[in-house]
Every structure is written in C-alpha cells, then in structure tokens.
Structure 1
Amino acid sequence: MSYTGPDFDPPPERRSRRGPLTVALAALVCGGLLGWGVYAATDAGDDKGATAEGAPSASPRMPSSPAASSPAGSSSPSAGDAGDARDGESPASRTPSASAPAAAGPLKGKVVVIDPGHNPTNSRHTAEINRQVDVGTHRKECDTTGTSTNDGYAEAEFTLDVAHRMRALLEKQGATVKLTQDRDRPYGPCVDERARIGNAAKADAVVSIHADGSGAGNRGFHVILPGSVDEGEADTRAVVAPSRELGERIAGNFVRVTGTAPSNYIGGGTGLVTRKDLGGLNLSTVPKVFIECGNMRDSKDAALLTSGAWRQKAARGISEGIVSFLRG
C-alpha cells in the first residue's frame, strides 16, 4: 500500500536501530512486548509452532505509547518452505468465498470478515480499478494492483494465502468467516464495496490484510486504525474505539506469535497508525482495521513474507488477536 492522501503525513526519517539485545528486551518488557523479546533471544527460526492450533494462548495488547523498535527476526525461510513460497493456494484454501458451517467453539455466533487486499487479476482491469469512488472525505481509485517483492511475489497472492489460513483457524474457534474476495471475481471489489460487505454481514470484526511497499531497510508490521470521520457517507465515530481495541489486540498477538517487531519507519514503535483517507475504514460501520504484515521491498521482510511457515504464524497472530477482542 502507498502512503498518500489527506490527513496523512509521510513517515519520518528512519531512526537508527537499537544496539544490544538486552536493552531492546528490557524496553519491550516494559512496553508489554515480552513475547517478541523471548522469541528473538531464543530461536527466531523455529517454524515448528506454525501449525493451526486450537485455543489461543495469552492475549497481549500493544501499548499506546511508543516502545523500543528493533529489527524483526532475520532468519530466512527453511528449506522445507521453499516450495510453499509461491504456491498461490494455502493448505486451508477451498471453493471461492465458501464458508464451512461454524463449528462449536468460543466464537459460535460471531461473524468475522477477512478482506484480502487487492486482487491477483487487478492488473488486467486497469480501467475498472482506476475508476474513482467516493470514500466520504474524497474520491479515490476503486482499487490498486498492490505491491510485490523484488522477485515478483505479489501482495495479492500473499493476502489471499494469509486469509485462507485465518479462515481455517477462526472456523475452528466456531466463528462464521466471510471473505470479501477469493479469486472469484475479475477485479476488486472496490474499496467502498469492501466496506459494505463487512457492514452487510453485521460483522463483529473485520480485518483487511496487506503488505507494504516501502523502501529497503524499512521493516516490521503496523496496524492501521480508523480516525474519527464524519463527512459525506463516512461516519466512523461509533467504531473508532472498538476498532482501536481490535487493533491493539491484533498487534500484541502478532508480535508474540511471529516474533516480528513493530515498524521501524512508521507508528513511533507502537505498531499502530491512524488514518482518515482509506475508504475501507471510512465507510465501515463495524469494528475494522488494516494490517500491513511487513515490507515486501525489504529483502529480510520479503524472506519472511514468502515463507509458508511464517505466513501461518502471521495468520495465527492476527486470528488470536481477533479471538481475544471478541471474547473480551
């Protein structure tokens, strides 16, 4: 995703990375990020825990004040992941947009909408996705093609894979899960329609999955929260607070499960950013956030994003944040 639009300042110049691990770990503990510190200090390359677990463990929340920013685990995908980097289909994928009957579980009766950012075939429909739509504060493109790693792994493929993995995890918890798109349409949907899908489903939580396309050296994840907007068709005032709660839960669990540090180039080390220019947030009437899982244009982050084992961890972290939010 790009960072342009009203009410949004470009990210400040990157701060230098922290030095000794002990200093970073102490700061992370104070900020509620013990999970990342333990992971980094022990075995950041262990992919054995990246299975579709059942009940979530701890439910940390990210702090509201800036915490120390430290580079994410830098291990490359293991040899066993090489064939999973561009498989297109995750082990949890199935018929487009189909949702299995909800299982008995703690999320029985809850509806979760997963919004996989962009669409793998948007590039074949440039006229359609360049069409302007109303997002309340202004008009902008229906959708974009998204970004990719330097060697061509598309953001749209990444978002679908993570969405499939999340769907399997959340359905095991009893939730009814809907996807805004599942490679079942030629392009889009447009950003305004993505918001309406969550609204029409009366979703208890909506998460839009993305990966960033920032400069090399910019690393880490961040969660985008809706700002308070009351303009045109957009009125986020009722969902700002629950969306922040959802975002904090997701950010805390993402750190704990993946070992990935919050962004070192935006969000002041908190992993949280507020925006008022995104139609998918402006037009939502239910709690909703975006997550940028990492930077596809940085080689170290790209090594994680193209690892099937790491994508499973990402899906777990996001899903466990959703479970924590919905269970209160």
Structure 2
Amino acid sequence: MSYVGPGFEPSPPRRPRRRPLTVALVALVPGALLGWVVYEVVGGAGSDGGAGAVGTTASASGPVSPRSSAASSAGSGDDKPGGTPKASPTPTASAPAVSGPLKGKVIVIDPGHNAGNFQHTAEINRKVNIGTNWKECDTTGTATNSGYKEAEFTLDVAHRMRTLLQAQGATVKLTQDGDRPFGPCVDERARIGNQAGADAVVSVHADGSGAGNRGFHVILPGSVNEGAADTRSIVGPSRALGERVAGNFVRATGSAPSNYIGGGTGLDTRTDLGGLNLSTVPKVFIECGNMRDSKDAALLTSGAWRQKAAQGISDGIVSFLRG
C-alpha cells in the first residue's frame, strides 16, 4: 500500500534496462560483506592485540585442558576476559623442614595418666621400681566434678605444646598419644625421656585437692642417690627449667601460684616420684590447677585457657633451652 497526498506522486515505473544492474549489485553486496568480515578476523583485528589475537593464539597452541585453564586464571587476581592468558605457575618444591631457634633440641612431653587407665586397674596397680622403693605403675588421675578427666586435659595441652614447640624447630616426642590402652608406667615414662636424650622433659598434670585450694605448682626433683635413682646431676638444671616454666605460666595464663603447696612460690621439691627419680635428663612436673575447685575447673575445661597454659609451659621450655 502506498500513501498518496499533496506533493507525493507515485514513483515512475522502473525501466527494463536497469534490471541487470540491480541484480549485479545485489549479488556483489554479500560478497563484499563476507570479505570485510574475513579481513577483520584474520588480518585487521589481529594487528592490535584484540580478540582476534587471542583467537589465533588459542588455535595455534591447541585445545586448553580445564586444569591448565584454571591454573592460568589462578595465577593472578587481575586476569581479564579477552586478555592474553598467563602461563601456569611453575610447581614449587616441597617446603623445607621447619627451622627455628630450637632446631636440634629434643623435648619430651609427658601427658600425665591415660584415659584408659580406668578400665585397666589391675595393670596400673602393678608395682614398679622407682629407685628408692616400689610404687604403682600409674594411677587413674583425677577429674572435675562434671567428669572431665585429668588424662583428657593433659593430652590436649600436650598436643598444643607440641604444635608450638615444633614451630620453633624442636623435635618433640610424647610419652603417650592416646595410642595405647593404659599407661605407660612411671618408670617407662622416665625411660622414654632418657632414651631420647631429651634436652628437657615436662610432665603435664592437674591436681585433685580440696575445694578452695587453687593455683598451679611446678614439682622439681630432689637430690636422690639410692638404688637405681641418681638425680644429682639433674637437680640444678631441672630447677632452672622449673623456674622458667613457672614464671612464663604466670605471664601466659594470669594464674597465681598454688595457695596450698610451695609457700606461694609455685615450686615444690619431691623425692617420691618415679618419673623424676629415674630421670637422667632435666625434668619437671607441672600441676596446672586444681580440678576439684570450681573456679580452677572452669579454667581447666576451657580450650582458650588450655591454649594459654600450653603457651606458658612452652615459653618456659624455650627460655630454659635458649639460656
């Protein structure tokens, strides 16, 4: 339908002689367009590093696997779509062994008791020679009024200490790692530290005294020279270790020294413990708190506080070994 109005006249009819020219133009237009597209893709666009360059690079290098593609994109946070892919990062060698101020030092951590001792009372009641006399292989340890076992506490703190000390380059051994049904006996615990040639041994415990008795104390070996026990060579270095542990424990945890043992010093010397009597390397015990006191128990059952306890004991060991 055509509109006819003032000033508008129908177009005159086309003359037959123009039809061949029209057909020729119609035939030429698609060809010209196709040629322009080919030029832009193959020649023109490739000269300015745009999308055409990426296309030709990808086709020249062959198909890219999903893994190598992901590695390229992960190589930089500023890769942009359409940019030139970056090469995959060269694989790095395995991380070297941890080095630190305690490299070459051997530390033995003795998590007191064993959670399985409750099921093996006959075995742990067996008597062993502690040098000066005979005592039970081990005991069950104590627990909070809510049932949190001393053995659970000691192993948790030992694990935290191991992580801290290994980060400083030390070789760390545990006398038990929850990997045995009961024990070991007190004489074996001492033997583990001796055979390791430990530079320091700390036995981790929590006390089971009466309510109202609060605070920590470090137990030092007294001078013993009887039977299989001879602590004379380790009394001095063990005291130095114990003093460093006590001081750093206060700083890390904020806990006060025991109000019922040690006369406020946080230090107690004993000659009746097989783990100390049979040791030939510097060794101390630490009673981190009283599980039977509700206020101390609240600390001992807190993971955050146990981390502080592990830090304090570890700092004491580091201080001792570094002089």
TM > 0.5 between the two?
yes
- The question of 1:310 aligning with 2:298 is answered no
Residue in 2 that maps onto 1:280: 275
The alignment partner of 2:115 has SS state of coil
1:238, distance to aligned residue in structure 2 (A): 0.1
1:112 CA drift (Å): 0.2
Q: Is the 8 A contact 1:225 1:244 kept in 2?
A: yes
Amino acid at match of 2:261: I
Separation (CA, whole Å) in 1 of partners of 2:236 and 2:208: 28
d(CA) in 1 for partners of 2:190 and 2:98? Answer: 26
SS in 2 for 1:321: helix
CA distance, structure 2, for counterparts of residue 245 and residue 103 of structure 1: 27
Residue number in structure 1 paired with 2:236: 241
| C-alpha displacement of 1:110 | 0.0
Residue of structure 1 in register with 2:137 after alignment: 142
Q: 2:290 maps to which residue? A: 295
Corresponding position of 1:173: 168
1:112 and 1:176 in contact (8 A); partners too: yes
Are 2:114 and 1:119 equivalent residues in the alignment?
Answer: yes
The residue type equivalent to 1:294 in the other structure is G
- Partner residue, 2:249: 254
- Partner in structure 1 of residue 30 of structure 2: none
CA distance in 2, matches of 1:102, 1:127: 43
Structure 1 counterpart of 2:218, from 214, 223, 234: 223
Q: Which residue of 2 aligns with 1:61?
A: none
Give, in whole Å, the separation in 1 of the partners of 2:101 and 2:113.
31
| Cα pair 1:116 1:180 within 8 Å, conserved | yes
**Is the 1:281–1:289 Cα contact (8 Å) retained in structure 2?**
yes
- The aligned counterpart of 2:178 is 183
Distance 2:245 2:306 in 1: 15
Structure 1 stretches of 5 or more lacking a match? 1-100
Give the residue type in structure 2 aligned to 1:209.
V
Please say if residues 102 and 175 of structure 1, whose CA atoms lie closer than 8 Å, have aligned partners that are also in contact: no
* Aligned with residue 210 of structure 1, among 199, 202, 205: 205
Higher relative contact order (CA 8 A, sep 6+): 1
CA distance in 1, matches of 2:119, 2:212: 31
Q: Percent identity?
A: 84
- Post-superposition Cα deviations, 1:1-53, rounded to whole Å, max 9, x if no partner, equal xxxxxxxxxxxxxxxxxxxxxxxxxxxxxxxxxxxxxxxxxxxxxxxxxxxxx
Find the residue that maps to 1:186 and give its secondary structure: coil
User: What is the alpha-carbon distance in structure 2 between the residues aligned to residue 327 and residue 142 of structure 1?
Assistant: 34
Contact 1:102 1:108 in 2 (8 A): no
Report the counterpart of residue 324 of structure 1 in structure 2: 319
**Which whole-Å CA distance do the structure 2 matches of 1:184 and 1:102 have between them?**
25
**Which amino acid letter does the alignment assign opposite residue 315 of structure 1?**
A
AA partner of residue 239 (structure 1): I
1:227 touches 1:240 (CA, 8 Å); kept in 2?
A: yes
Equivalent residue, structure 1, for 2:152: 157
**Moved segments of 4+, more than 6 Å:** none
Pairs within 5 Å for 1:185-200 = 185-200=180-195
Say if 1:199 and 1:285, in contact at 8 Å, map to a contact too.
yes
Number of positions where the alignment pairs a residue of Structure 1 with one of Structure 2: 228
CA–CA separation in structure 1 for the residues paired with 2:116 and 2:97:
30
TM-score by length of 2: 0.70
Q: Which runs of 5+ in 2 are unaligned?
A: 1-95
Task: Work out which of the two has the higher radius of gyration on C-alpha atoms and give 1 or 2.
Answer: 2
TM-score, normalised with respect to structure 1:
0.69
Separation in 1, partners of 2:262, 2:290: 14
Task: Please give the secondary structure, in 2, of the residue aligned with 1:181.
Answer: coil
1:256 to 1:207, Cα distance in 2 relative to 1, 3 A: same
- Following superposition, the deviation at residue 102 of structure 1 comes to 5.7
Encode CA deviations 1:227-275: one digit per residue, 9 max, x unaligned. Answer: 0000000000000000000000000000011000000001000000000
Instruction: Tell me how large the CA RMSD over aligned residues is.
Output: 0.8
SS in 1 for 2:233: coil
